[in-house]
Structure 1
Amino acid sequence: MADNRVVQGRMVTPKRLAELIEGESVMDAEAIEDADRECPECGGNVLEVGYMPGVTSFVTGYKCQDCDWSEIDDED
């Protein structure tokens, strides 16, 4: 099952997408999904991925497929 998606012209895995959002390596990531929203910067399609930046935390990250915009929804 390939959950890879194209982001800014590159194919990324869920873990790689999470690392792009977080800015560093992450422990684990769930499947990439389409977020039901548009990028506030360019109007492009936004992807969402749930991931664990560390052992004790879980966050949802959002990343535009077309530009550098990203956001983290920290549920803690």
Structure 2
Amino acid sequence: MADNRVVQGRMVTPKRLAELIEGESVMDAEPIEDADRDCPDCGENVLKVGYMPGVTSFVTGYKCQECDWAEIEDDD
């Protein structure tokens, strides 16, 4: 099963998508899912990925497949 998805014209892994959202490297990431919402900036599809930016935290990141828009939701 391919977990990779195309984001802004590039194929990314779950971990790479999380790094794009976080802006730095992350420890681990779950499979990428469709977020069932549209980008507030361009109206395109938004992906979501759960990931661990550090040992003690887990967050859900959202990223548009077409533009630079991204958002982090803290799950703590």
Task: Give me the TM-score of the superposition, normalised by structure 1.
Answer: 0.98
Matched AA of 2:58: F
2:71 is aligned with 1:71: yes
Distance 1:44 1:14 in 2: 19
Structure 2 segments unaligned to the other structure (5+ residues): none
Deviations 1:2-33 (A, max 9, x none): 10000000000000000000000000000000
Q: Which runs of 4+ in 1 moved over 4 A?
A: none
2:6 is aligned with 1:6: yes
Note the C-alpha offset of 1:70.
0.1
CA RMSD of aligned residues (A): 0.4
Matched AA of 1:25: S
Structure 1 segments unaligned to the other structure (5+ residues): none
2:49 is aligned with 1:49: yes
Note the C-alpha offset of 1:41.
0.2
Distance 1:56 1:70 in 2: 22
Figure out how many residues of one structure are paired with residues of the other and give that number: 76
Distance 1:75 1:29 in 2: 14
Percent identity, please: 88
Distance 2:2 2:46 in 1: 19
Task: Give me the TM-score of the superposition, normalised by structure 2.
Answer: 0.98
Note the C-alpha offset of 1:49.
0.1
